Amino acid sequence: MQQQVILKGQSHSTLSNYIRKIAQISLHFGCLPEKISDDEINEYLTSLAIDSRSPSRSGFKHMVYGLRYYFRHVGKTDLAIKLPSLKKEATLPVILNRSELKALFKAPKLLKHRIILTLIYSAGLRRQEAINLKVPDIDFERHTIHIRKSKYLKDRIVPLSYYMSRGLKKYLEVEKPHDYLFNGKEADGRYSINGLSWLMREALKRAGIKKGVNLHSLRHSYATHLLEEGVNIVTVKELLGHADVTTTMIYLHVARLDVIKAHSPLDTLYKEAL
């Protein structure tokens, strides 16, 4: 399975999620998934769906995806087909407005925490991308951030905000991180995913923000605000590292864009003569 995940360009976290769920159901029944009957699998998945308020966002979703992947891997594609289909979510991302973002970035007491949240928004980072950043990935002279081996194992370069640059220089001078930009308690010295989630929750509380948002909402806000400021959607797609522009197009439904009345370009060509 590890070989297949690597060959398909999927992330290590994807493999970890699949393995964890396969281990969970295997331990529950005391055998590998292909030895479990259809009725038992359906009963188990039903219990997961009932226990979760939102199955599409829960362990139910990861269990179904993990089992599908496993059955295809062992050549049991007929079992993969029998698994329940997951409805695609139609909800729009929740966006933080500019006043809320300012309050959020000001909320943490520690400079390190303020820098982490601000950097995630300023560069539209995924949480894994943020904790994987290393000190040399920040190029202050060229004002760029090099994001390495992200989703689908792709690298990309995004602009480093001039305002963010000043904050990062101060942070580096005070904290003096080694290797990873944000050191933490993980075995390899990185900041943890759980630590990021906790940081966001605490900052939201201190800022008094009641919206149903999470850390990924900073990335949603980044994309939406770029579109509102006139950046074209193809550029936003590249900055986000999306494989397909259709994924980026969801932000067109939440961005407040100026509506231009339909007209002939000939009129704007000779606008001064009219």
Please indicate whether residue 251 is annotated as part of the active site. yes
* Annotated catalytic residue, options 61, 113, 190, 219: 219
Question: At CA 250, angle to CA 249 and CA 255, rounded to 5?
Answer: 95
Please give the torsion angle defined by the CA atoms of residues 172, 177, 178 and 181, in that order, rounded to the nearest 10 degrees.
Answer: -80
Over its length of 274 residues, how does the chain's per-residue pLDDT go in tens digits?
A: 777 777 766 667 777 888 888 999 999 999 999 888 888 888 888 777 766 555 445 677 888 888 988 888 888 888 777 777 766 656 789 999 999 999 999 999 999 999 999 999 999 999 999 999 999 999 999 999 999 988 767 899 999 999 999 999 999 999 999 899 999 988 889 999 999 999 999 999 999 999 999 999 999 999 999 999 989 999 999 999 998 888 898 898 888 887 667 767 767 776 665 5
Q: Within a domain: residue 89?
A: no
* Annotated catalytic residue, options 126, 190, 220, 237: 126
Q: What is the pLDDT of residue 259?
A: 65
Please indicate whether residue 18 is annotated as part of the active site. no
Neighbouring residues of 134: CB distance < 8 A, sequence distance ≥ 6:
179, 180, 181
Domain that holds residue 36: 2-82
Please indicate whether residue 219 is annotated as part of the active site. yes
Q: What is the pLDDT of residue 55?
A: 46
The domain tally of the chain equals: 2
Specify whether 34 is located in the same domain as 115: no
The secondary structure of residue 190, as a DSSP letter, is B
* Annotated catalytic residue, options 72, 76, 134, 216: 216
Q: What is the pLDDT of residue 50?
A: 67
Specify whether 119 is located in the same domain as 186: yes
Q: Within a domain: residue 43?
A: yes
> Last residue of some domain: 19, 49, 82?
82
- Rounded to whole angstroms, the Cα distance separating 19 from 12 reads 11
How large is the greatest C-alpha to C-alpha distance in the chain, in angstroms?
A: 81
For 20, phi then psi, to 5°, come to -60, -45
Please indicate whether residue 72 is annotated as part of the active site. no
Specify whether 64 is located in the same domain as 105: no
Specify whether 119 is located in the same domain as 75: no
